[in-house]
């Protein structure tokens, strides 16, 4: 059986204040070879008009030109993702991130995904170790990385941003082009 990899990034925040986002989104891009995603990011970065941050693509900061190139590349390569969306107006949970991650884990188990790379946000060692143990108990190799080091995470960031602005702000331009590649779980 061929190995599958997923790269996970999030959008939105985990809080429940008046300033918090309504949605918390975990997006997982799935591929059989992570190098494909690395190449996509490198190609898009080479065509950027503004190269102020070398090697890093953050969807919300990019020009319309770069966003359109990114969408076209994802369409050409048929790069799929699956997404868990938590509507915090409908459900209140103690640990939004862990709750959402457990839904991603169920999907991974069901679909025999055995290698997961998550964008590291939280620097609390014990919290991160608990997440690693959660996946390890289910025989899934999981690691944390950063966007600068693992460019494949930038593809997950892009998808996550597209879904976030669609749900949170009603901006559907990019979402409508890619929705056939997105599976909501």
Q: What integer pLDDT is reported at residue 86 of this predicted model?
A: 96
- Strand pairing class (141-145; 115-119): parallel
Q: What is the mean pLDDT of the chain?
A: 87
Q: What integer pLDDT is reported at residue 3 of this predicted model?
A: 62
Kindly report which listed range (42-46, 128-132, 152-156) carries the lowest average pLDDT score: 42-46
> Looking up tokens 């868990």, which residue turns up?
84
Domain segments of the chain: what residues?
A: 5-184
The string of pLDDT tens digits covering residues 98-137 is 999 999 999 988 988 888 989 887 667 788 888 888 899 9
CA–CA gap between residue 168 and residue 162 (Å, rounded)? 10
- What are the φ and ψ backbone dihedral angles of 129, each rounded to 5 degrees? -65, -35
Q: What integer pLDDT is reported at residue 46 of this predicted model?
A: 78
The string of pLDDT tens digits covering residues 12-40 is 999 999 999 999 999 999 988 878 888 88
Residues in CB range of 42: below 8 A, 6 or more apart? 55, 151
CA–CA gap between residue 126 and residue 121 (Å, rounded)? 13
Q: Does domain 5-184 have CATH number 3.40.50?
A: no
């Amino acid at each position: 059986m061929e190995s599958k990899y997923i790269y996970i990034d999030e959008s939105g925040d985990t809080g429940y204040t008046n300033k918090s986002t309504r949605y918390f989104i975990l997006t997982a891009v799935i591929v059989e070879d992570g190098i494909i995603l690395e190449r996509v990011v490198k190609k898009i970065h080479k065509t950027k008009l503004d190269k102020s941050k070398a090697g890093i693509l953050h969807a919300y900061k990019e020009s319309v030109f770069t966003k359109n190139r990114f969408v076209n590349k994802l369409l050409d390569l048929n790069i799929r993702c699956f997404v868990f969306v938590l509507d915090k107006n409908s459900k209140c949970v103690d640990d939004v991130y862990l709750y959402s991650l457990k839904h991603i884990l169920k999907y991974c188990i069901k679909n025999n995904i055995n290698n997961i790379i998550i964008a590291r946000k939280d620097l609390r060692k014990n919290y991160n170790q608990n997440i690693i143990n959660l996946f390890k108990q289910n025989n899934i190799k999981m690691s944390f990385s950063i966007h600068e080091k693992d460019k494949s995470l930038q593809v997950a960031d892009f998808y996550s941003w597209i879904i976030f602005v669609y749900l949170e702000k009603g901006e559907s331009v990019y979402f409508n082009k890619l929705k056939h590649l997105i599976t909501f779980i």
